[in-house]
């Protein structure tokens, strides 16, 4: 069959039904068990083989596969079913865990982030399950993305490395990209800067005191600037001072102060280059102020490396061709490039692309996604899968 024929097989009613069902099952991070039971039942009803893998039985991950891995490449689709809590229920126009269709939109917690994408992935398995695939198609339905992925994709990737889950040749992560092809994401490093002063009574602040908070302010002004480096896949790096601690009483000049830096990185940057840049800016302040004393604290083991998939990857090319087929001009996503589970697949050398519909009000009240966009995502996936698996 041609890719156009597979695109035309996308069933809008089935998509809406499964997405509504997923949204209607509360699954705040740490409480994913029930929604995963639904996924298992949904797969079993269609005779789609799956395995369950977990390092906490209450927080399982489901790996479902169709096709023949010996006949060609393995394509994995990754999506998480955990959601953030609802903190503002009174601001919702409908029950956040009901899955309400209104004015062509699906409303509910997780509708945009990212239960609708998982719904698309499940329907792809159903649609292609009787096709003569030249390869295999899997879905990795995971827990724990919102809280760090230790029970979710990190566990799945470890199982791939251990040989317990078939290693994909390509992975599609269904986070929202507005149908742009996202091939990269920034990395990150947390840095604390400790400033040393001399505590004193306020009455002698200008005599014996050295105000560490004032030194921290100088440091912040030196660091908080737009970073000019530009990477075409992820944009600019970012340095943001997001926290400060100082002072023990309103009549004591603070002798110590500390700021928290979140430094987001682009491909090519290293821990050494990041720390070197921070030191250079702070040392420039110290050169003009002999009382400007600081120490840096950071853990290289907690550094998340900026990562990317080559624009020449067969997965990227397949998405470009599929978008053109659907009368969309392919674009790469560079708007903000935060951290997703895609980094974990790239981290073990698997070409990975993020592709999905962009909903509205993620993590907020009245979260929703356009049903037309869910259908468009399914059509893009159908065209891409058919290209890569030869049907």
- Summarised one tens digit per residue, pLDDT across range 222-244 is 999 999 999 999 999 999 999 99
Task: Burial-class residue 329 by CB neighbours within 10 Å (0-12, 13-18, 19+).
Answer: exposed
d(CA 196, CA 361): 42
pLDDT the model gives residue 336? 66
CB atoms within 10 A of CB 286: 17
Q: What's the CATH number of domain 186-302, 3.30.70.360, 3.40.50.970, 2.40.10.350, 1.20.59.10?
A: 3.30.70.360
pLDDT the model gives residue 51? 98
Low-confidence ranges of the chain (pLDDT < 70): 1-3, 336-337
Class of domain 3-183+309-388: alpha beta
Nearest CA-CA partner of 1 in 388, 273, 386: 386
**Domain-wise residue ranges, the chain:** 3-183+309-388, 186-302
Q: What is the pTM assigned to this prediction?
A: 0.89
Q: How far is CA 208 from CA 199, 202, 205, 213, 254, in A?
A: 8, 10, 6, 15, 12
d(CA 117, CA 139): 11
d(CA 311, CA 298): 33
Element (H, E) at 45: helix 33-45
Q: State the Cα angle at 74 between 146 and 311, rounded to 5°.
A: 75
């Amino acid at each position: 069959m041609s890719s156009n024929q597979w695109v035309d097989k996308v069933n809008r009613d089935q998509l809406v039904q499964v997405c509504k069902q997923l949204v209607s099952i509360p699954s705040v991070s740490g409480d994913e068990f029930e929604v995963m039971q639904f996924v298992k039942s949904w797969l079993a009803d269609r005779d789609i083989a799956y395995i369950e893998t977990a390092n906490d039985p209450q927080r399982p991950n489901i790996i479902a596969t169709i096709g023949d891995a010996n006949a060609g490449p393995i394509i994995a689709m990754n999506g998480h079913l955990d959601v953030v809590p609802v903190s503002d229920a009174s601001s919702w126009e409908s029950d956040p865990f009901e899955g309400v269709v209104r004015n062509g939109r699906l409303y509910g917690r997780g509708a945009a982030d990212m239960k609708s994408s998982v719904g698309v992935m499940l329907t792809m398995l159903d649609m292609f399950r009787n096709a003569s695939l030249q390869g295999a198609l899997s879905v990795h339905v995971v827990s724990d993305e919102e809280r760090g992925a230790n029970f979710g994709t990190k566990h799945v990737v470890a199982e791939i490395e251990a040989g317990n889950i078939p290693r994909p040749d390509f992975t599609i992560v269904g986070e929202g990209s507005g149908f742009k092809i996202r091939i990269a994401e920034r990395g990150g490093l947390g840095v604390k800067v400790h400033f040393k002063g001399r505590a004193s009574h306020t009455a002698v602040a200008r005599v014996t005191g050295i105000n560490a908070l004032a030194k921290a302010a100088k440091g912040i002004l030196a660091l908080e600037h737009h970073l000019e480096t530009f990477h075409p896949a992820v944009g600019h790096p970012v340095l943001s001072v997001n926290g400060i601690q100082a002072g023990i009483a309103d009549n004591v000049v603070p002798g110590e102060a500390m700021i928290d830096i979140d430094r987001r990185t682009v491909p090519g940057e290293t821990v050494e280059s990041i720390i070197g840049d921070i030191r250079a800016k702070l040392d420039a302040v110290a050169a003009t102020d002999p009382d400007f004393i600081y120490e840096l604290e950071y853990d290289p083991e907690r550094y998340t490396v900026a990562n990317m998939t080559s624009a020449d990857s067969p997965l990227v090319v397949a998405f470009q061709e599929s978008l053109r087929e659907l009368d969309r001009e392919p674009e790469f996503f560079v708007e903000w490039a935060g951290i997703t589970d895609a980094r974990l697949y790239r981290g073990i050398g698997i070409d990975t692309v993020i592709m999905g519909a962009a909903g509205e009000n993620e993590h907020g009240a009245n979260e929703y996604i356009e049903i037309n966009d869910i259908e468009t995502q399914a059509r893009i996936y159908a065209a891409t899968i058919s290209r890569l698996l030869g049907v």
